[in-house]
Structure formats: structure tokens, C-alpha cells
Amino acid sequence: IKGVSFHNVKAKAIKSATALLADRFDSRIPDTFEGLVSLPGVGPKMAIIVLNVAFGKVVGISIDTHLHRMLNQLQWVAPTKTPEKTRAAIEAWLPRKHWHEMNLIWVGFGQEIQTEKGKLLQKALNCSKPKQAVELLGKLGMDVQKQAAISGITLTV
């Protein structure tokens, strides 16, 4: 795990979690939200993902800091201060049948949006609906005109 950020902290959490799994969970991964978040280094976001992917249980929407920021910028929720408050707000109005898709779609979208800004703008311009894509980038906080100038991109939409 040396290639990830905070690898020393994460290595300690993994060691502690494996000991706890052996002692409290008969060396098995817990299949409950409460069991998962009791493990060192496992927060609500990761517990929701593990339950969804490993156990087929949809218990919530996984919200990280990036998605928390994006959902606030898009005004999908009233302004919230933390990812957990954003999760509660979106789960309050989004029908449960869409939670699974929300997790899958927004994780991919979050990864895309973290791309270098010039490359992201070029992708938006090259997609099937460039006008809407560029508008979305603006809603997510990108100064599109400024980024186009910096990257030497001519805006045609």
C-alpha cells in the first residue's frame, strides 16, 4: 500500500483490523454496517461500499468528500457541512431503489472529475453533448473560460 496516501497510518489500521477480525469475527469480514465501522480505518463510506459489493446489501449511499462537495455545488441537497450529513440529505429524497446505481455512477464520475482540468475540459468538448458537459463543469466550480485560456483550448460551444 506504499503507493497510497497516508500509507503508514493505513498499514497500522490494517494490522489492527486483522487482529480484531481474528478475535471478534472468527477471521471473517462482518456483513453488517455496525460490524464494519467497528474496524479501525473503516468509515461509513467504505462500509456501505463493502456491504454493497461483497454482500449485495444496499444500506446507503457512499459519500466521500468529493461527492459531498459536488452534490452541494449541484444543489442536490440543501447546504451540508459533512459527507455524513450529505448522505442523510440525499437518502431522504432519493428512492432506495436508486441507491445502488448512485454508488456505481457517482464513484466513476468522481474519478473522472478529478482528472487534470485541461484534459477534463477537452473530454467535455469531445463528448456527445459538449454544451451540457461544459455547463456541468461550470456548476462544479470550474472557471471554464479561464481553464480554456490556460490550456490553449478554443471554446466552440
Alpha-carbon span 65 to 148, nearest angstrom: 26
The span from the CA of 2 to the CA of 24, in Å, is 28
Mean pLDDT along residues 18-30: 96
Cα–Cα distance measured from residue 13 to residue 39, given in angstroms and rounded to the nearest whole number: 8
Other beta carbons within 10 Å of 57: 15
pLDDT for the residue 9: 87
Q: pLDDT class for 5, splitting at 50, 70, 90?
A: confident
- Report the percentage of the chain scoring pLDDT > 70: 100
Q: What percent of the chain has pLDDT over 90?
A: 71
> Amino acid letter at 96?
R
Point out the residues that are catalytic. 45
Instruction: Say whether pLDDT at 157 is over 90.
Output: no
The confidence band for 114, taking pLDDT boundaries of 50, 70 and 90, is confident
